[in-house]
């Protein structure tokens, strides 16, 4: 949502960009995209490329519609083409006579030869190949042998995500969490690469010292086999009463409620392009943050939180420090917000993209 809807909106708030033609499916509109469409006051021209309903999108008549849509989209007179992914639509747009940039949002940690050949081909067809962290740039050079043209970090909409969005007590009440509970939040895809088991294994050590602990697992896309593994681990460790799973989709505008209800946010992931957008959102909300000392996490976190060394015992020690030391928690809250507000707002990121557009 941040780079598909919020970034286009902030681009239109710069002096140089008059309008953005946004190709999108229907689902992101429902999950928060409509908020930015309304705020853009017509400067974002939406083009619906798919329904996001598999039953519809897989039909032959829809495939015909999609091809027609792609051809019509290619007839517009664009000044710059900004690509966030590669599909049939982007294959057509890559052939147009206009400056093109491609942004690699995924982590390059596990690139193989096939991935590298694909990216090298894409690199040769665009005017600027962008990655979102210095870590990703170095990893891509190491594994694939070419250097991206620019590093532009992900950003956060601090008009939505900020420490004043909700008070702690109101946020807890909205989520049905007792006011006396200390809340640990984990917010990510339910996937093996996210390493939720590290936090689950750390929790019994925390519960020994603090009985009023609640781990809130906020998730969306779920790997079922991994979910079963996590549920079995929770049962085995007998911490069921301390863990709550929230698996529903939540609109972007409501997400700050989760961060503001939280005493500490944890990012256990072992591979990220730039920390993770949820970690940046938590930091923007002034939530004390702890991250795995792996991949691009240290670069994204900066001085805005604590790192642990991919070990449940080390994570438990860091959690207890934050949850029992109010002075430290307040300091981390301040540093987290300052890290984002000074360097990682979407308006700042938008201005950097405009500068890149202009250079092309």
pLDDT tens-place string over residues 169-221: 999 999 999 999 999 999 999 999 999 999 999 999 999 999 999 999 999 87
Across 257-281, average pLDDT = 97
As given in the structure block, the two tokens for residue 179 are 């006011």
Average pLDDT over residues 243-269: 95
The percentage of the chain sitting over the pLDDT mark of 90, rounded to a whole number, equals: 81
**Coil, helix or strand at residue 131:** strand
Predicted local distance difference test score (pLDDT) of residue 88? 77
Predicted confidence (pLDDT) at residue 162 exceeds the cutoff of 90: yes
Percent of the chain's residues with pLDDT above 70: 97
Q: Minimal CA–CA distance to 261: which of 325, 210, 218?
A: 218
Distance of CA 54 to the CA centre of its chain: 24
Domains of the chain, by residue range, sit at: 2-155+345-359, 168-343
Q: Average model confidence (pLDDT) for the chain?
A: 93
Q: Where are the alpha helices (DSSP H) in the chain?
A: 7-12, 27-28, 34-39, 54-57, 60-73, 88-93, 113-125, 134-144, 168-175, 196-209, 224-237, 256-260, 277-284, 297-301, 312-324, 326-343, 346-359
Q: Which CATH topology does 168-343 take?
A: Rossmann fold (3.40.50)
pLDDT recorded at residue 187: 97
253 pLDDT above the threshold of 70: yes
Q: Which residue in this structure is represented by tokens 């021209």?
A: 45
pLDDT digits (tens, 9 = 90+) for 24-61: 888 888 888 999 999 999 999 998 877 667 766 677 66
Mean pLDDT for 113-137 is 96
Q: Give the Cα separation of 28 and 174 in Å (integer).
A: 24
- The per-residue pLDDT for 65 is 66
Chain centre distance of CA 121: 26
Ramachandran class of 278: left when φ > 0, alpha when ψ lies in -120 to 50, beta otherwise? alpha
pLDDT in tens, 297-334: 999 999 999 999 999 999 999 999 999 999 999 999 99
pTM: 0.94
Per-residue pLDDT at 56: 67
The rounded distance, in Å, linking the Cα atoms of 28 and 84 is 14
Instruction: Specify the pLDDT at position 62.
Output: 62
- Under CATH, which number does the domain 2-155+345-359 receive? 3.40.50.2000
Q: Are 158 and 284 in contact (CB under 8 A)?
A: yes
Mean pLDDT of all residues in 243-250:
93
């Amino acid at each position: 949502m941040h780079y598909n809807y919020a970034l286009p909106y902030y681009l239109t708030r710069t002096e140089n960009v008059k309008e953005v033609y946004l190709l999108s499916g229907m689902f992101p509109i429902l999950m928060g995209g409509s908020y930015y469409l309304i705020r853009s006051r017509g400067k974002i021209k939406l083009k619906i490329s798919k329904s996001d309903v598999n039953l519809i999108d897989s039909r032959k008549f829809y495939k015909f519609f999609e091809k027609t849509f792609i051809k019509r989209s290619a007839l517009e007179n664009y000044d710059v083409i900004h690509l966030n992914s590669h599909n049939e639509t982007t294959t057509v747009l890559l052939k147009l006579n206009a400056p093109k940039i491609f942004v690699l949002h995924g982590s390059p940690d596990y690139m193989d030869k096939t991935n590298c050949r694909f990216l090298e081909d894409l690199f040769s067809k665009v005017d600027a190949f962008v990655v979102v962290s210095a870590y990703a740039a170095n990893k891509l050079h190491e594994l694939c042998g070419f250097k991206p043209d620019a590093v532009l970090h992900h950003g956060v909409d601090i008009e939505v995500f900020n420490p004043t969005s909700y008070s702690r007590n109101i946020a807890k009440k909205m989520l049905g969490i007792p006011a006396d509970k200390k809340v640990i939040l984990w917010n990510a895809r339910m996937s093996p690469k996210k390493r939720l088991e590290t936090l689950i294994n750390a929790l019994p050590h925390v519960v020994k010292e603090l009985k009023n602990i609640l781990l809130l697992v906020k998730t969306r896309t779920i790997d079922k086999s991994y979910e079963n593994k996590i549920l079995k681990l929770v049962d085995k460790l007998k911490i069921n009463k301390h863990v709550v799973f929230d698996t529903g989709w939540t609109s972007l505008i409501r997400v700050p409620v989760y961060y503001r209800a939280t005493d500490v946010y944890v990012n256990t992931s072992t591979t990220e392009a730039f920390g993770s957008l949820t970690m940046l959102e938590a930091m923007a909300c002034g939530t004390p943050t702890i991250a795995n000392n792996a991949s691009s996490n240290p670069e994204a976190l900066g001085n805005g939180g604590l790192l642990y060394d991919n070990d449940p015992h080390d994570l438990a020690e860091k959690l207890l420090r934050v949850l029992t030391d109010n002075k430290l928690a307040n300091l981390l809250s301040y540093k987290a917000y300052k890290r984002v507000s000074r360097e990682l707002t979407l308006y700042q990121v938008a201005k950097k993209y405009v500068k890149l557009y202009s250079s092309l």
